[in-house]
Amino acid sequence: MKKVYATAAEALDGLLQDGMFIAAGGFGLCGIPELLIAAIRDAGTKDLTVASNNCGVDDFGLGILLQTRQIRKMISSYVGENAEFMRQYLSGELELEFNPQGTLAERMRAGGCGIPGFYTKTGVGTVIAEGKEHKEFGGQTYILEHGIVADLSIVKAWKADDTGNLVFRKTARNFNPPAAMCGRVCVAEVEEIVPRGSLDPDLIHLPGIYVHRIVQGQHEKRIEQRTVRKREDA
């Protein structure tokens, strides 16, 4: 089975359709599938529902799909760095489903593991719990959350072999593995494709069974917020 493709557009060929549900990996601007996001923008696929920790910034990451009005609904944990996100939400142009960060990660992981739902204490007594089933366990109240199964997962990894085994680097190993797991089809962009058998099995973060297509590329790796301080000896 061929998994390696020459470009992001080729890796997404035949997978995109209007109204689809996409799970996207990354945390802030760290470990985001920027090449695949740009390819989706160029394809013009619209009315998208996207599950991701956040929605990038105004001119980078998933934010570029907001600029082109291709996203209809976001399922997110944090949206504080994107002014266009706020404008569209407050004007009623964008539907938003807020999830606590751990809940969103577990919803993706559960979907990838074939678990349709789980109970959690997170969000009990808040707007997050409104309309959800409540259940008592050990005298404590929990709410039911449903696993996420997306039509397509797009993720970013550090290394891969041609069978799709993935290694993530540092903070990029957060939402990328569960996002990859929950898609019916997963496309991964990577910095380097290495020969089969060269990855230490103990260091593989996501087995290739979850990954259907791979593309290697160059990445901008933009810093979301640059914080500096004076040298102590200055």
Residue 29 has pLDDT above 90, yes or no: no
Write out the two tokens for 167: 């290694």
Query: Per-residue b/e over 32-69, b at no fewer than 16 CB within 10 Å?
Result: bbbbbbbbbeebebbebbbbbbbbbbbebbbbbbbeee
| CB of 112 closer than 8 Å to CB of 101 | no
**Beta carbons within 8 Å of 26's beta carbon, 6+ residues apart:** 32, 33, 52, 53, 61, 155, 156, 172, 174, 175, 176
Quick: pLDDT tens for 106-119. 999 999 999 999 99
How far apart CA 156 and CA 223 sit, in angstroms, is: 16
Looking at the chain, the whole-number percentage of residues with pLDDT higher than 70 is 100
Confidence (pLDDT) at 224: 72
More confident residue, 91 or 79: 91
Top CATH class of 4-121+133-216 equals alpha beta
Residue 221 has pLDDT above 80, yes or no: no
Q: What's the mean per-residue pLDDT of the chain? A: 94
Confidence (pLDDT) at 220: 82
Quick: pLDDT tens for 169-185. 998 999 999 999 999 99
Arithmetic mean of pLDDT, 60-84: 91
Phi, psi angle pair for 28, to nearest 5°: 65, -125
How far apart CA 186 and CA 61 sit, in angstroms, is: 18
Map out the domains of the chain as residue ranges: 4-121+133-216
| Residue 129: DSSP 8-state | G
How far apart CA 6 and CA 215 sit, in angstroms, is: 6
Confidence (pLDDT) at 234: 60
Quick: pLDDT tens for 134-164. 999 999 999 999 999 999 999 999 999 999 9
How far apart CA 214 and CA 229 sit, in angstroms, is: 39
Give pairs for 112-117: CB < 8 Å, separation 24+: 112/147, 112/178, 112/180, 112/181, 112/182, 112/183, 112/210, 113/147, 113/181, 115/147, 116/146, 116/147, 117/144, 117/145, 117/146, 117/147
Helix (H, G, I), strand (E, B) or coil at 12: helix
How far apart CA 224 and CA 138 sit, in angstroms, is: 43
